[in-house]
Amino acid sequence: MNPEFRQALYETHLLIEEHAKDREIEDNPLPESIARKEAPRIPDVPEHEVVRHYLRLSQMNYGVDTGFYPLGSCTMKYNPKYSEALCRERDALDLHPYQPEDTVQGTLRIMYELQEMLAEIGGMDSVSLQPAAGAQGEFTGLAIVHGYYKNNNEERDEVVLPDTSHGTNPASAAMLGYKTIEIPSKEGCVDLKALREAVGENTAAFMLTNPNTLGLFEEDVLEIADIVHGSGALLYYDGANLNAIMGKTDPGKMNFDIMHFNLHKTFSTPHGGGGPGSGPVGVVEDLKSYLPVPLVKKEGDKFILDYSLENSIGRVKGFYGNWMVLLRAYAYILERGREGLTQVSERAVLNSNYLRKKLEGTLELPYKPLRKHEFVLSGQKLKKEGLRTMDLAKRLLDYGYHAPTIYFPLIVDEALMVEPTETERKETLDEFAAIIEKIMNENPETVKNAPHNTAVGRVDETRAAKKPIASYKMREGDEK
Ligand SMILES: *Cc1c(COP(=O)(O)O)cnc(C)c1O
C-alpha cells in the first residue's frame, strides 16, 4: 500500500476513534412496551446449509468482482477492498442521525474535506453531498436553477438538451415541471446552430455531459457556454462521464454553473442494488446560497451542520445515511491523489481507444473521431443474419461477461456502448474482443437463443418491466 495512503487511512482511523471516545453511549434498554416477549422464530437450519444457500445465491449474481463489466455510461470499475475494510470499522458504523455534532467531529471533518476535494476536482465553488444518486443530483441542480430564477423574478420554463442525453436528464427536468426541448446532434456533437435556435428568454438551463454519451469530447464547449449564457440561461454538467477528464480539465473551466458527481461511478464506490449511491452537487459562487441544507461547514476548528443558507432549496434527503459511500469515495481520492486521479482518466481513455480499435473491424463504428472513456458501436451487421444487438449481448453472458449497454444512446441504430474503465488489463480487453469476433461467426440460431449457460435463460424484458413478479414464488391464479 502506498505510504501516503497508509498515513491517510491511519489519520482517518484516529478521527473515528476520537469521536467514538466522546460518545459514551448509555446502555439504554428498550422500553418494556416495545421489547420482544418471546424469542423470534428462526428456521432451524444447520450452518452449512445457510452458507450453501447464500453462496449459491451469490454465484447466480454477476458483479465487478466476478468479471469484466463493460456497461457503457455506468463506469463499472473495480471497487478497492481497502475502502470496504474502512467501512467495517465499528466507529464508522455506529452512528446515529441525531447524534450531537460535537460527537461526530471526525465524520463531519471527512464530509467537509470531501466537499472541498470534489469542489476542486469539478472546478466548482461549493459542493453539497446530499443527493443520493446522479439522477437526484440532476433534480437538485435543476431545483437550484428553479430557485435562482424565481428569486430573480424571471419566468423561464424550458430545459434544452441534446439528443445524446441520458434519459434521467429530461426526466429530472420534467419532474420540476420544465418543458424539455431536445436538439439534434451534428456528427455526434451539439449542433451550435440548433442550439442557438433553441435557447432564448424561456430557457432555464442547457444540460450536457462532456465527453458526451458517444464518448466524444464536445470541443465547442466554450462556445456552447457563451450561447447558453448569452440567452440568460444556466449550464448544467452531468458528471457521469467525469472519469474521462479528471486532472485534464474540469466543468468549471468549461464554464458550467452546476454539476453533479456520481461517486458510484468515478470514485469507485459500489453501485449497490440500485443504491445506496451518491450524487453530490457542485455550484459556482453565485448559486452557493441555493444548495440544500445542511451543508457541512468549518467554524474555527469545529465542524458544524449549517442550516443558514439564505436561498436554500431545503432538504432533498432526510439524513446522510449514505455516509459509507462518502467515506469510500474520500478514501479513494486520498489513495489516488492528484496525479493518481489524472492517471485514472488517462488509462480509462487509453483502454477505451485500444478496445475500440480492436472492435471497429468486427462491428460498425459510427462517428470516427478519437473517443474518450467509452465508445458506441452499431450492431447493424447482425441484421443480415436476422440477429440484433440484444442477441449478441445475451450471448456474451454465456462466455462469462456482463453485456455492454445496448440501445443507448438512442441516435445510434442497434447501439452497443462499451466502457472498459481503467481497472481492466490488456489481456481482458483482448479476450473480450476475441469473444465478440467469435460470436459474430457463430451459428445465428445459437446466438438467437442465448444465453444457454446462465441460471436464468432469456426473459421477456418488456413483460418483466410491465408485470414484475416481485415474490420468489408464483401465487395461485398468477398467469404463467
Ligand atoms: C448514470 C448516469 C446518470 C444517472 O446517474 P445515477 O447515479 O444512475 O442516478 C446520468 N447521466 C449519465 C450520462 C449517466 O451515465
Q: Provide the residue ranges of all domains of the chain, joining segments of one domain with +.
A: 90-335, 338-456
C-alpha cell read off for 329: 469515495
Backbone angles phi, psi at 235, to 5 degrees: -115, 120
H helices present in 64-167, as ranges: 81-87, 90-93, 105-122, 134-151
Q: Which residue has the cell 451469490?
A: 58
Please report, in tens digits, the pLDDT of each residue of the chain (480 residues total): 567 777 777 777 777 666 666 554 445 567 888 888 888 888 889 999 999 999 998 888 899 999 999 999 999 999 999 998 998 888 888 899 899 999 999 999 999 999 999 999 999 999 999 999 999 999 999 999 999 999 999 999 999 999 999 999 999 999 999 999 999 999 999 999 999 999 999 999 999 999 999 999 999 999 999 999 999 999 999 999 999 999 999 999 999 999 999 999 999 999 875 456 899 999 999 999 999 999 999 999 999 999 999 999 999 998 888 899 999 999 999 999 999 999 999 999 999 999 999 999 999 999 878 889 999 999 999 999 999 999 999 999 999 999 999 999 999 999 999 999 999 999 999 999 999 999 999 999 999 999 999 888 898 888 988 988 877 665 556 554
Q: Which atom of ligand 1 is nearest to the CA of 238?
A: 11
State whether the beta carbon of 266 lies less than 6 angstroms from ligand 1.
no
Cell matching residue 411: 441516435
Kindly give the pairing relationship between strand 203-208 and strand 234-238: parallel
Is any atom of ligand 1 closer than 6 Å to the C-beta of 168? yes
Spell out the residues 6+ positions from residue 239 whose beta carbon is closer than 8 angstroms to its own. Answer: 122, 134, 137, 209, 251, 259, 260, 261, 262, 266
Element (H, E) at 377: strand 375-378
Q: Mean pLDDT over all residues of the chain?
A: 92
H or E segment to which residue 180 belongs: strand 179-183
Does 198 sit in the ligand 1 pocket, CB within 6 Å?
no
Question: What proportions of the chain, in percent to the nearest 5, are helix, strand and coil?
Answer: 40, 10, 45
Residue entry with cell 473551466: 253
* Ligand 1: nearest atom to the Cα of 165: 13
- CB crowding 450-478: b at 16 or more within 10 Å, else e: bbeeeeeeeeeeeeeeeeeeeeeeeeeee
429 and 358 in contact (C-beta within 8 Å)?
yes
Among the listed residues 439, 345, 431, 441, the one whose alpha carbon sits nearest the alpha carbon of residue 394: 439
List of residues 6+ apart from 279 with CB closer than 8 A: 131, 132, 133, 134, 135, 136, 137, 138, 140, 260, 261, 262, 263
The closest alpha carbon to 438, from 207, 469, 446, belongs to: 446
What pLDDT is stored for residue 28 in this prediction?
A: 56
Beta bridge partners of 158: 179, 203
CA of 380 to the centre of ligand 1 (A): 26
Distance CA 31, CA 50 (A): 33
238 lines ligand 1 (CB under 6 A): yes
Q: What is the pLDDT of residue 25?
A: 47
* 228 burial level (CB within 10 Å; 0-12, 13-18, 19+): buried
CA 136 – ligand 1 centroid, Å: 10
Q: What's the rounded Cα separation, in Å, for the pair 359 and 323?
A: 40
Query: Cα torsion for 56, 58, 64, 70, to the nearest 10°?
Result: 70
Closest C-alpha residue for ligand 1 atom 6: 134
Atom in ligand 1 nearest the alpha carbon of residue 135: 9
Ligand 1 neighbourhood includes 133 CB (under 6 angstroms): yes
Tell me, in angstroms, the distance from the centre of ligand 1 to residue 137's CA.
9
Q: Dihedrals φ, ψ of 303, to 5°? A: -110, 130
Q: Which CATH superfamily is domain 338-456 in?
A: Aspartate Aminotransferase, domain 1 (3.90.1150.10)
User: Which of 168, 209, 212 to mutate for ligand 1's pocket (most ligand atoms within 8 Å of CB)?
Assistant: 168
Distance 408 CA to ligand 1 centre (A): 12
Single-letter residue type at 258? I
How far is ligand 1, taken at its centre, from the CA of residue 262, in Å?
7
Which atom, in ligand 1's list, is nearest to the CA of 264?
7
Ligand 1 pocket, 244 CB below 6 A? Answer: no
Give the pLDDT confidence score for residue 58 in this predicted structure.
86
Residue at grid coordinates 456482463? 402
Q: CATH says 90-335 is which class?
A: alpha beta
How far is ligand 1, taken at its centre, from the CA of residue 168, in Å?
A: 7
| φ, ψ of residue 363 in degrees (nearest 5) | -120, 165
Mutate to test the pocket of ligand 1, among 262, 269, 417 (most ligand atoms within 8 A of CB): 262
- The secondary structure of residue 14, as a DSSP letter, is H
Q: For residue 133, how far is its CA from the centre of ligand 1 (angstroms)?
A: 8
CB count within 10 Å of CB 60 equals 9
Could you tell which of 73, 129, 213 is best to mutate to test the pocket of ligand 1, judged by most ligand atoms within 8 Å of the CB? 73
Which residue's CA is minimally distant from atom 8 of ligand 1? Answer: 134
Closest C-alpha to ligand 1, atom 5: 134
**How far is the centre of ligand 1, averaged over its atoms, from the C-alpha of 241 (Å)?**
9
